[in-house]
Chains A and B, each alone.
Chain A
């Protein structure tokens, strides 16, 4: 493509600043005026944002299905016609051992949409309904995980080690997982990855990275990506596919055969240990590249190490690391009134029923490390208890060099429903979940958690929090909302 000056220089510069988050308030006002008052500018704005959204979605995890839909089961597992979401055709009424979950089926479509249009158009012609049905009889067993975070729609979500999983795409958002196939092949998935066993000795990698270890009896095991087919000839190999059509195969032991899936007459390439090839989206050639384990190493775990053993803090609450129980609430939480070397946890209100939605900052498990703030309206149907985690280091320190840190874990015997970590949401919830008679901190005294090296992890079972609080002149606080004790 050639580059030539566009007739929308000012508008384009503003749009670039918008998507790169460099737009000043003056720029925003100018952009608003242009877009609001000039239809041509408005149309260009819509085109530009659409382009940005499409590029972004090809590389990001986006909410798949409303949770309510994922919970819906097919009407009748044994007599209803099964539905092929790839072809959007009924496959017949054969009773099946495992019925494809609706959410998992939608995940296939959705992953295909994320993977790009070539994926839909280049699916092999031999994915017949009968092969599809055969795939339902194959099973995989989860044999190990490394902080695996499965997509809620994936059939692996909630499955324990040693358990056989229902069929469907294994969508791993982060961490790693090892699965055993019926054939004896062991596949390690490194998140974010979408991988599916589609036959007795065949699997599809929609995006992400996997390493396959193939025992002698399973030679011929094939992994296909949207543009590449990799057939094992006795080996351990890695396959990587991104969401824009790039595929790579890396041989760590033994040898494999690789071919381009988008042409019928592609000559297979044989690769041996220490060799790797890449298939670019625009090219029909397999390019030799240096073998690498870069894609096949799980991302480092950012959680801080928490020293010490678990100890009881209060009935139903345990703590580990730099946290103590504050049995009696102080009259004031203001600076200097509650200083300490360690963080303090205290109970606030019990059995509160929220009469209207409450703004919270975190309402889902996972790691929360960035400064992005997504406030969610939270309104549980049952009553809740609230606790306050408070860290006010001794002395008034200034500057990053003097910041103090508290690293700790707390564990409840009930699910943690939500966390409030920001100054404004804390202030708003003081009146609802805070203790009467306690003088809480002002917005300016509190520092927003999840910045300056702060870290919060809410475990998948919602009972354990891992927290690293870092602060200097301000106070770090977090309000923890848990299911009310019975």
Chain B
């Protein structure tokens, strides 16, 4: 397949970098396993560039990227049929449609999250940092902070719930936290 013209790269890069996080989240919603989603993201990114000549300037890049990502997810699932798939195609379809509809909301959520993280207690922020560090496990984090693994599971559940509530509250009030 021909590559897009070089002069379109200046159009592609801001769109790509501006939307990649949301495309990643979209793939993770359809394929809720980090390693699998990362693999599909890499393939999707490559296809987005290869097919960029098919994207009309000024169009809805996120919607276009999601269509390609959805195809790549289904392709990945087809290849994996030798192994049992956890969720059905109906589940993937339902989530895919909903996630595209919620695009604007997720954009606002991402912006609001920064303020919500700032509102966490330092101890909770520290726990989030440790837990989400690449390669970290709950057991390792528990050992680092001197708590039980179960205690860290519960704390992370409480923190994520608090962040979701904060984001929802912020969006209901019409602005970042």
Q: Chain A residues in contact with chain B, CB under 8 A?
A: 1, 3, 6, 12-13, 16, 18-20, 22, 25, 28, 32, 35-36, 39, 42-43, 45-63, 65-69, 72-75, 83, 85, 88, 102, 105-106, 109-110, 113, 116-118, 192, 242, 244-246, 280-282, 359, 370, 372-377, 424
Contact A43 B132 (CB under 8 A): no
**Nearest A residue to B88, CB-CB:** A32
User: 18 more A-B contacts (CB under 8 A) besides A43-B98, A67-B46, A109-B17?
Assistant: A1-B120, A3-B158, A6-B161, A22-B153, A35-B94, A45-B29, A46-B29, A47-B102, A53-B21, A62-B24, A63-B45, A65-B49, A68-B46, A113-B20, A117-B111, A192-B134, A244-B129, A374-B39
Nearest CB of chain A from residue B102's CB, rounded to whole Å: 5
Contact B49 A66 (CB under 8 A): yes
**Nearest A residue to B41, CB-CB:** A63
Q: Which residues of B contact A63 (CB under 8 A)?
A: 38, 41-42, 45
Quick one: which of A51, A69, A113, A373 contacts B164, CB cutoff 8 A? A51
Q: Which residues of B contact A35 (CB under 8 A)?
A: 91, 94-95
**Nearest B residue to A4, CB-CB:** B165
Give the one of A32, A49, A85, A280 with max B CB within 10 A.
Answer: A49
User: Known: A1-B166, A51-B113. Contact between A72 and B46, CB under 8 A?
Assistant: no
Quick one: which of A32, A69, A242 contacts B87, CB cutoff 8 A? A32
Contact B165 A6 (CB under 8 A): yes
Q: Which residues of B contact A244 (CB under 8 A)?
A: 117, 125, 128-129
**Nearest A residue to B157, CB-CB:** A16
Chain B, range 133-173, C-beta contacts under 8 Å to A: 133-135, 138, 153, 156-158, 160-168
User: Which 7 pairs across A and B sit closest by C-beta, in order of nearness?
Assistant: A53-B25, A282-B118, A59-B132, A66-B49, A117-B114, A66-B46, A109-B17
Contact A49 B25 (CB under 8 A): yes
Contact A52 B28 (CB under 8 A): yes
**C-alpha gap A39/B158 in the complex (Å):** 24
Contact A246 B129 (CB under 8 A): yes
Quick one: which of A3, A39, A56, A424 contacts B98, CB cutoff 8 A? A39
Contact A59 B157 (CB under 8 A): no
**Nearest A residue to B111, CB-CB:** A117
Quick one: which of A53, A59, A246 contacts B133, CB cutoff 8 A? A59
User: Known: A36-B91, A117-B111. Contact between A68 and B50, CB under 8 A?
Assistant: yes
Nearest CB of chain A from residue B128's CB, rounded to whole Å: 6
Instruction: Tell me whether B14 is interfacial, beta carbon within 8 Å.
Output: yes
Q: 1/0 contact trace for B93-114 toward A, CB 8 Å? A: 0110011001001100111011
Q: Chain B residues in contact with chain A, CB under 8 A?
A: 3, 6-7, 9-10, 12-14, 16-18, 20-22, 24-25, 28-29, 32, 34-35, 38-39, 41-42, 45-46, 48-50, 79, 82, 86-88, 90-91, 94-95, 98-99, 102, 105-106, 109-111, 113-114, 116-120, 122, 125, 128-129, 132-135, 138, 153, 156-158, 160-168
**Nearest B residue to A57, CB-CB:** B21
Q: Which residues of A contact B14 (CB under 8 A)?
A: 85, 88, 109
Contact A51 B28 (CB under 8 A): no
Nearest CB of chain B from residue A260's CB, rounded to whole Å: 15
**Nearest B residue to A49, CB-CB:** B29
**Nearest B residue to A243, CB-CB:** B129
**C-alpha gap A85/B10 in the complex (Å):** 9
Nearest CB of chain A from residue B129's CB, rounded to whole Å: 6
Contact B49 A102 (CB under 8 A): no
**C-alpha gap A328/B38 in the complex (Å):** 41
**Nearest B residue to A282, CB-CB:** B118
Q: Which residues of B contact A13 (CB under 8 A)?
A: 157
**C-alpha gap A1/B153 in the complex (Å):** 19
Quick one: which of B17, B117, B134 contacts A106, CB cutoff 8 A? B17
Q: Which residues of A contact B28 (CB under 8 A)?
A: 49, 52-53
Nearest CB of chain B from residue A120's CB, rounded to whole Å: 10
User: Known: A47-B109, A72-B6, A282-B119. Contact between A28 and B24, CB under 8 A?
Assistant: no
**C-alpha gap A376/B76 in the complex (Å):** 10
Contact B86 A28 (CB under 8 A): yes
User: Known: A16-B153, A57-B24, A372-B35. Contact between A102 and B9, CB under 8 A?
Assistant: yes
Give the one of A1, A12, A22, A113 with max B CB within 10 A.
Answer: A1
**Nearest A residue to B35, CB-CB:** A372
**C-alpha gap A58/B25 in the complex (Å):** 13
Quick one: which of A105, A106, A376 contacts B39, CB cutoff 8 A? A376
Nearest CB of chain B from residue A361's CB, rounded to whole Å: 12
User: Known: A32-B87, A51-B167, A54-B113. Contact between A242 and B129, CB under 8 A?
Assistant: yes
Give the one of A20, A69, A372 with max B CB within 10 A.
Answer: A69
Contact A68 B132 (CB under 8 A): no
Quick one: which of A3, A67, A69, A280 contacts B12, CB cutoff 8 A? A69
Q: Which residues of B contact A12 (CB under 8 A)?
A: 157, 161
**C-alpha gap A244/B42 in the complex (Å):** 24
Q: Which residues of B contact A53 (CB under 8 A)?
A: 21, 24-25, 28
Q: Which residues of A contact B158 (CB under 8 A)?
A: 3
Contact B106 A50 (CB under 8 A): yes
Q: Which residues of A contact B13 (CB under 8 A)?
A: 65, 69, 85, 102, 105-106, 109
Contact A72 B9 (CB under 8 A): yes
Nearest CB of chain A from residue B111's CB, rounded to whole Å: 6
**Nearest B residue to A1, CB-CB:** B162
Contact A113 B91 (CB under 8 A): no
Q: Which residues of B contact A370 (CB under 8 A)?
A: 135
**C-alpha gap A486/B55 in the complex (Å):** 42
User: Known: A46-B102, A66-B49. Contact between A281 and B132, CB under 8 A?
Assistant: no
